[in-house]
Amino acid sequence: MKLSRKKRTPPLDLGKLHEVSSESRSSGKITALSSYFSLLEKMKDEQSLNTPFVSLEALARITAARIEGYEERNILGSCPNAWGDETIRVPLPLLIALKDAWDKYRSADGSVSLGESFSIEGKGQGKSKMKGRLEQRLKEHRVRSAVEVAYLASGYTLEEPDPISLEVAIGQVAEAEELSAETVRKYHKKHSKRLREELKNEGVLKGD
């Protein structure tokens, strides 16, 4: 039985969706970087993250992008306007050292403090909840994006030749992520409006 598409969003450019969602392409990587930096700035404005945390996270991601071969002007162009346009040149090995120490802290399970990751303090000092806040927000965004892709792309692909309802998409993602449907629904409701705006700006969603 086919489900109604009456409440669907404007027509979808499926090719654009795949292009935007793929971080393997240069433009996709820079677009993802810009979106991520905007999220960091938003969480700073919400006081969920502070300026030092955002600064270290941004420096690590900028350094990683430069190591991967992305042009400096494109990387800097992905930064929010709030960060300004004044720059300085820093020896890359120094930035790599900061990036590696920061990434060690970010990937730790909570048993390693910031100071321990940078090898500047002993064990048990300087624990921070901000790492957990960012990881939670990224998880919410990942789940939200999975719901949107499953919902919007249905009816346009061989895997989903017939359109599905939003509730079906939520159920599919809940099963894949091993979360309750209510949790997935909450994440989607919380963050979907912003994603829809981004998709329209990127030309993925057509119409007003």
- Sign, CA dihedral 31-35-40-42, equals positive
Number of domains in the chain: 1
Domain annotation covers residue 7: no
Alpha-carbon Rg for the chain, nearest whole angstrom, is 20
In a domain, 46, yes or no: yes
Instruction: Please report whether residue 1 resides in a domain.
Output: no
| 186 located within any domain | yes
What is the DSSP secondary structure assignment for residue 83, as one 8-state letter?
G
pLDDT at residue 123 tops 80: no
Instruction: Tell me whether residue 42 is in a domain.
Output: yes
- Counting beta carbons within 10 angstroms of the beta carbon of residue 80, is it exposed (0 to 12), middle (13 to 18) or buried (19 or more)? middle
Say if 206 falls within a structural domain.
no
Domain range enclosing 167: 14-201
Give how far Cα 79 sits from Cα of 41, 135, 158, Å: 10, 20, 37
- Residues 42-57 pLDDT 10s: 999 999 999 999 999 9
| pTM assigned to the model | 0.67
Whether residue 182 is contained in a domain is answered as yes
Please provide the DSSP assignment of 169-206 as one string: HHHHHHHHHT--HHHHHHHHHHHHHHHHHHHHHTTSB-
Listed residue (163, 136, 156, 147) closest to 195, CA to CA:
147
Tens digit of each residue's pLDDT (9 = 90 or more) over 100-110: 999 988 888 77
Q: What is the mean pLDDT of residues 156-184?
A: 87
In a domain, 127, yes or no: yes
Q: Which of 117, 40, 32 is nearest to 78 (CA)?
A: 32
The pLDDT confidence band at residue 5, using thresholds 50, 70 and 90, is: very low
% pLDDT > 70, the chain: 78
